[in-house]
């Protein structure tokens, strides 16, 4: 299955402090806005989203159709195909994406340990 770009979305208490910490690990701001309480940081192919006050806990995120530079990739599995694959294999894939639709869509699923995984397609 082709899930696209991978990042981890971290729920942080202090965005400014977290930004400085990850900069010390070699990450640079790649997107987002301090005044909107989130930043996307990048180090090579590694992506980390820092989100202050937006959600509880951390989330593993996959972006079908994108690479780690937010560039479109041609060979990917649509979010609807991914969700149907999970359902076919007996996995509760959250609120169902309309399989008659196309384009941007997302769903969340929990792994066996309760970790949240977001499949978030932007195109």
Domains of the chain with bracketed CATH: 5-121 (3.10.180.10)
Q: Work out the average pLDDT over 65-82.
A: 92
Q: Work out the average pLDDT over 72-82.
A: 94
Residue 12 pLDDT > 90: yes
Share of the chain above pLDDT 70, in %: 100
Residue 34 pLDDT > 90: yes
CA-CA distance, 7 to 101, in Å (whole number)? 25
The pTM for the full model equals 0.84
């Amino acid at each position: 299955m082709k899930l696209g770009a991978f990042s981890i979305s971290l729920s942080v208490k202090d965005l400014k402090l977290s930004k400085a910490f990850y900069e010390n690990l070699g990450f640079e701001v790649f997107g987002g806005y301090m005044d909107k309480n989130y930043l996307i940081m990048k180090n090579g192919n590694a992506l980390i989203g820092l989100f202050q006050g937006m959600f509880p806990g951390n989330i593993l995120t996959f972006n079908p159709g994108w690479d780690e530079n937010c560039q479109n990739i041609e060979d990917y599995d649509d979010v609807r195909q991914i969700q149907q694959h999970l359902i076919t294999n007996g996995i509760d894939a959250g609120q169902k994406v309309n399989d008659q639709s196309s384009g941007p869509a997302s769903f969340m699923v929990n792994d066996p340990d309760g970790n949240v995984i977001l499949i978030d397609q932007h195109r």
